[in-house]
Structure formats: C-alpha cells, structure tokens
C-alpha cells in the first residue's frame, strides 16, 4: 500500500469537498474486482458488481466469496476510487475445480478441452465493455479481452496434445505493458451508481460445448478496476 499527495487530485478534492487539511489525506493503491460464472449457453450481456460478496451467483448458484469479488455493496464501490486502469479476465477454472465428470477425464488438459479452448478463443475477440456512472456512459471499449487483458499469470503458448501434436491454449496477454490505461483518470464516488457490463451487440456470445455426459466446463469472467482510494491517512 502506498500513500502520497498529487496536486491534480488535491485540486479535484478541493473542488468537490471544499477546503480541508489535505496533507492528512492520501491515495492508497487498490483494485476492485468481480467475477461471474459464464453461462455455457452464451449470453447477450455479462453484468459485473451487481452481486456483492455473500450474494448468490445466478449461474453457479454458489455464494460469492472474496475469491469472486471484494465488492461489499451492489452497484456501488462504497469508497472513492480514482480509476487508472481496467483489466478483464477469462478464467477457465483448473481441473480440480471443474465438475466431477470433467475431473475424471485423464485427457482433459490435452485433448477433451480443445472444443472449450476454441470457444474461448472466439469469446476473446468479442464484446464491448461499458461503464456507466449514474446512467451516463463514461467508458466504452470493444474487444475488451484483447485490449484489457488480465496481465498476470504464467505465459502458456501451447500445451502437448495426444500424438505429440501441439495445440494452442487460449490465454490473454500476461504482459503488464498491455494493461488498459484509463486516460483521463476517472473519479468514481463511493455511493455513485455503477453499472459495468460486457455486452455482445452482434447477438449471443459463444456457447461452451458439453463434455462427456452433457457436462459443461466451468469458466468465470472477471473485471478489475485498478486505481487509488482517496482516504484519510492513518
């Protein structure tokens, strides 16, 4: 965690909240994140930050923990955030987190997952990410999975397939230089109504093929809002 003073931010604080002893305020680096389970049938829109921690994910039927989100309120951040960058994440859950029928497949990682990987490649080229504050559109970016990659993880270029034939593994960029930088920085107030969604305006997003006895693989889609919290220094 870091804290420092920035003249531009201080000026904006003065304009919004009037005079104060801003030397006792600081900026703390922070990220708000939210993951939702992808509907295997495909969707026209994926909303984020609408179900806070403890709420129920509509697709998985499971309660959201801090693994899925750190949002404690629905459609509000609860704290003032200066948004500096945005990331998206297509997360194919690891094998031991997949349904039991997929866990039992010895060839899942190098053979049976191929149709799923193909669908995720299609997904990575689609969608429009939109962020609205109080119904006003502030951010709109096409192909967010390409231009707003997760920028973390091990770089996997391919995985071995049966018969020693290489098969490409779907993965977003892991390079930190590929992060989407929000310019100018966007102020999101603590109680401001926040609507974040990835929309598929050309129809429905790709469906995930069933594996084995009609079992669909588990995929989570995430959005990360990176920036600085504006708060009094302790």
* Domain count for the chain: 1
Domain membership of residue 197 (yes or no) is: yes
Domain membership of residue 1 (yes or no) is: no
Percent of the chain with pLDDT over 70: 83
pLDDT digits (tens, 9 = 90+) for 68-118: 999 999 999 999 999 999 999 999 999 999 999 999 988 887 778 888 998
Which uninterrupted H or E stretch holds 118?
helix 114-124
Domain membership of residue 72 (yes or no) is: yes
Mean pLDDT (the chain) is 86
Domain membership of residue 51 (yes or no) is: yes
Q: How far is residue 180's CA from residue 201's CA, in Å, rounded to a whole number?
A: 22
What does R_g of the chain's alpha carbons equal in angstroms? 20
- Domain ranges, residue 130: 7-232
The pLDDT of residue 53 is: 96
Per the omega criterion (within 30 degrees of 0), is the bond before 184 cis? Answer: yes
Domain membership of residue 137 (yes or no) is: yes
Domain membership of residue 210 (yes or no) is: yes
In the block, tokens 């391919």 appear at 158
Domain membership of residue 155 (yes or no) is: yes
* Greater pLDDT, 141 or 167: 141
Domain membership of residue 2 (yes or no) is: no
pLDDT digits (tens, 9 = 90+) for 147-182: 999 998 777 666 555 544 445 678 899 888 898 999
User: Three-state secondary structure along 48-115?
Assistant: ECCCCCCCECCCCCCECCCCCECCCECCECCCCEEEEEEEEEEEECCHHHCCHHHHCCCCHHHHHCHH
Rounded mean pLDDT, 194-218: 91
């Amino acid at each position: 965690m870091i804290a420092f003073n920035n003249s531009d931010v201080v000026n904006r604080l003065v304009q919004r909240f009037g005079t104060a002893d801003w030397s006792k305020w600081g900026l703390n680096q922070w990220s708000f994140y939210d993951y939702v389970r992808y509907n295997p049938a495909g969707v026209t829109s994926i909303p984020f930050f609408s179900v806070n921690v403890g709420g129920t994910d509509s697709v998985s039927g499971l309660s959201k923990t801090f693994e899925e989100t750190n949002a404690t309120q629905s459609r509000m951040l609860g704290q003032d955030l200066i948004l500096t960058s945005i990331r998206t994440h297509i997360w194919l859950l690891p094998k031991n987190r997949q349904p039991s029928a997929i866990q039992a497949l010895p060839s899942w990682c190098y053979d049976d997952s191929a149709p799923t990987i193909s669908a995720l490649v299609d997904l990575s080229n689609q969608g429009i990410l939109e962020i609205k504050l109080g119904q006003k559109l502030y951010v709109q970016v096409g192909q967010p999975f390409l231009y707003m990659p997760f920028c973390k993880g091990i770089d996997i270029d391919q995985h071995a397939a049966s018969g020693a034939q290489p098969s490409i593994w779907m993965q977003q960029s892991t390079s930190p230089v590929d992060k989407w930088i929000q310019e100018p920085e966007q102020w999101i107030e603590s109680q401001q109504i926040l609507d974040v969604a990835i929309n598929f305006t050309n129809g429905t997003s790709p469906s995930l093929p069933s594996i084995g006895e009609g079992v669909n693989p588990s995929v989570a889609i995430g959005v990360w809002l990176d920036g600085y919290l504006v708060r009094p220094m302790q």
